[in-house]
Structure 1
Amino acid sequence: MVKFYSSLILLFFFTFGIKSQEGVPVYFDYLTENYYLVHPSMAGVNLVGGKLRMTARKQWFDQVEAPELQTLTADLRLTERSGIGVTAFNDQNGYHSQKGIYLTYAHHINFNDDIVLSKRPYPSKYDEIDQLSFGISVGGIQNSLDQTSFDLFDPDPLISGLLENTGYFNMDVGMSYVNSKYYAHLTIKNLLFSPHNMYGDFEYDYPRDKTSFRRLVASLGYIFYTDRPWSFEPSVLFQVSELTKEKAIDTNFKAYYKLNSGRLWAGLSFRNSFEGAEYLDSDTGELKQQTLQLITPLFGIDFKDFVFSYNYSHQFGDINFGSGGFHQITIGFNFLRGSIDCDCF
């Protein structure tokens, strides 16, 4: 058994050497009790039953062809050591879009043999969870470029005037450690390198190590329980892109209030990028730099088996694409938890 676990760890770190492309964007969906969307090792992390989450995100309502994203995730604990999941998404940005579906398997190692299986969809101070998990997601993605509305009266040899599609396979791997008070996740996204020539063959004249879209995502969090109905959860999420060297960190804080049949919660997230884009100030003629800074208030409710959440992201800085912000709604359902015959909320 020790040899098996060692092999899992070696396989996880070996995949650092594999190349890949983009997939599901990392926004703030994970803060709605949906870390599985980012970390495949969280598939089936619940000790009993599963979770279904649907998210819709829309940016800049005052802009035509503004980015929007829809995701659907479902994950389920199959056995004491096995979890499965599925993720489907539709990501649109102007004339470009991508659609995809991922299938996930996660292996869970429980260090507490005396644990009582909890039916609640989230941890509480009464749980004794002590779990190490490994996960892998494999999926297919279709990229589309809609050139049908481009100006064909001004011919350009690079414009076909058609709806072009191309596809590739992708893979994410991750590992997590979770107990009732704190958690840590590490995931490498976009491992499989599958070049496509939608934008011209010349784009791939570079060596393979110059076209890697691997992204490293790491999360840490701690839950503070009190003797009252309140609990508090500070957390951070760090991500870095290998190709562009872009780095960003989310600093999050959530507060929960326990109800008889669920809980209310609210929070605040601040995303700050480490690199910035240069621009010329039209008033002073000075060359300036601006980093991406987003502040995101969020709130939600868990009522029995149902979940609802809303968040709004506001971008700081002198240069913005529009006056509108980033709206996101999540609805969810927790299933196959059995009858509730205990204080499971």
Structure 2
Amino acid sequence: MSRQHLFFVFFGFLTMLNGQMNPLFFNEYLAENYYRIHPAMAGVNLNGIRIDFGTRQQWFGVTDRPATNMLTLEYKTTAKTTLGFSGFSDQNGYHSHYKYNFTYCYRIYFNNEIWNTRRSFPTKNDNIQELSFGLSVGFSGANLDQSNWNRTTADPLVNQNLNQTNFTSFDAGVAYVSTQFSSQFSIHNISFTPSNQEGNDQELTYNINGNKIFIGSIQYEIYTEVGWNFEPSILVQYQEKTKDNSLDLNFKFYRLIKNGRLWLGLSYRQNKIGVAYNNGNRTENEVYKHWTPIMGLNYKKMKFSYQYTTNLGKINTPYSGIHYIGIGVQL
């Protein structure tokens, strides 16, 4: 089967996927997949097709625990153009959210170095310098499974807001990528409109205003002559509706091996908005913050990654750890 046929078979299948609606994005982008959060990063370091699947799990041992599945698909149709798909499926008890995006990305090269290797990562011997623009159209929604509820009357607010509500959105971004320095900026939900909302009672409909999420990130690669390289990076997010923002401070170590490379890293996140809680005789405010150790492997055409996120605050649960496992392949 050719690459083109394989890509469109996956495209038809992926339209059935479900995903998250409008949260601040988590740390999965550090599993070597900035396309999860930046449309303009579709097709970076790619020649052909790339498929990436990840799952985030927590609260093991708890029935109907939160779980999120993620999938991205990139197909470099020409040297300058890439088509992409990204999908998220989030389940938490009776509630589920979904979102999937279709992306078009156009790339401008500032030199003659067009990525034409089977490697999925750059080295110090590459001379990459490119600017890309990405645009995504997305479809999202929220569902509430009430089939197991034992009640005599229905709640019209719950029914109208959460039962099969769908939205259409547009995301856009720009990215500059070079062998050493890279930077990206994206705006999610530039346009965010309901697809199947009925009725004019605004008290019973979701407020579609102010849903934009702004994301900016910078990475800097430090290469050595002995097969090691280091990557400090930062990422900032701002959510318009809640006025919340988060800052990620990341550091990754890479080691070249035969047919691939290993990586280890650590990420620290802190949000702006705090939560008030009673600490004995006084009320205190605590902002969300966490550590995320990162590890992964590129081996030939495959990629494997693992992350574990732990909350650093005093407000916690016995099931606070979050596991992320990812696997990818380049064809």
TM-score when scaled to structure 2? Answer: 0.86
1:289 aligns with 2:285: yes
Deviation at 1:76, TM superposition (A): 2.3
Deviation at 1:89, TM superposition (A): 1.9
Partner residue, 2:253 = 255
Partner residue, 2:330 = 334
What letter matches 2:173 in structure 1? G
State whether residues 189 and 211 of structure 2, in contact with CA within 8 Å, keep that contact through their aligned partners in structure 1.
yes
1:223 aligns with 2:221: yes
User: C-alpha separation between the residues in 2 aligned to 1:157 and 1:83?
Assistant: 44
User: C-alpha separation between the residues in 1 aligned to 2:206 and 2:170?
Assistant: 24
Partner residue, 2:311 = 315
What letter matches 1:129 in structure 2? I
Deviations 1:12-58 (A, max 9, x none): xxxxxxxxx94475111111111011100011122522321000001
State whether residues 62 and 324 of structure 1, in contact with CA within 8 Å, keep that contact through their aligned partners in structure 2.
no
Deviation at 1:117, TM superposition (A): 3.0
State whether residues 247 and 273 of structure 1, in contact with CA within 8 Å, keep that contact through their aligned partners in structure 2.
yes
Partner residue, 1:32 = 31
State whether residues 216 and 236 of structure 2, in contact with CA within 8 Å, keep that contact through their aligned partners in structure 1.
yes
User: C-alpha separation between the residues in 2 aligned to 1:142 and 1:307?
Assistant: 30
Deviation at 1:81, TM superposition (A): 1.3
Deviation at 1:236, TM superposition (A): 0.8
User: C-alpha separation between the residues in 2 aligned to 1:262 and 1:205?
Assistant: 47
Stretch deviating more after TM superposition (151-160 or 29-38)? 151-160
Report the identity percentage. Answer: 36
Deviation at 1:138, TM superposition (A): 0.7
Change (3 A) 1:75 1:119: same
Partner residue, 1:212 = 210
User: C-alpha separation between the residues in 2 aligned to 1:134 and 1:317?
Assistant: 38
Partner residue, 1:279 = 277
What letter matches 1:314 in structure 2? T
Partner residue, 1:340 = none
State whether residues 22 and 214 of structure 1, in contact with CA within 8 Å, keep that contact through their aligned partners in structure 2.
no
**How many residues are aligned here?**
309
User: C-alpha separation between the residues in 2 aligned to 1:112 and 1:332?
Assistant: 29
- Aligned ranges for residues 140-151 of structure 1 at < 5 Å? 140-151=139-150
Deviations 1:131-188 (A, max 9, x none): 0000011121232112233341587564559x92121211110000000111100000
What letter matches 1:302 in structure 2? N
What letter matches 2:311 in structure 1? Q
State whether residues 22 and 190 of structure 1, in contact with CA within 8 Å, keep that contact through their aligned partners in structure 2.
no
Change (3 A) 1:155 1:140: closer
State whether residues 109 and 131 of structure 2, in contact with CA within 8 Å, keep that contact through their aligned partners in structure 1.
yes
State whether residues 74 and 86 of structure 1, in contact with CA within 8 Å, keep that contact through their aligned partners in structure 2.
yes
- Aligned ranges for residues 125-274 of structure 1 at < 5 Å? 125-152=124-151, 158=157, 164-195=163-194, 196=197, 201-202=202-203, 204=205, 211-274=209-272
State whether residues 142 and 167 of structure 1, in contact with CA within 8 Å, keep that contact through their aligned partners in structure 2.
yes
1:305 aligns with 2:280: no
Q: Which runs of 5+ in 2 are unaligned?
A: 1-19
What letter matches 1:298 in structure 2? I
What letter matches 1:109 in structure 2? I
Change (3 A) 1:160 1:170: closer
Partner residue, 1:342 = none
Stretch deviating more after TM superposition (250-259 or 313-322)? 313-322
State whether residues 52 and 73 of structure 1, in contact with CA within 8 Å, keep that contact through their aligned partners in structure 2.
yes
Partner residue, 1:90 = 89
State whether residues 157 and 204 of structure 2, in contact with CA within 8 Å, keep that contact through their aligned partners in structure 1.
no
Deviation at 1:115, TM superposition (A): 4.9
Q: Which runs of 5+ in 1 are unaligned?
A: 1-20, 336-345
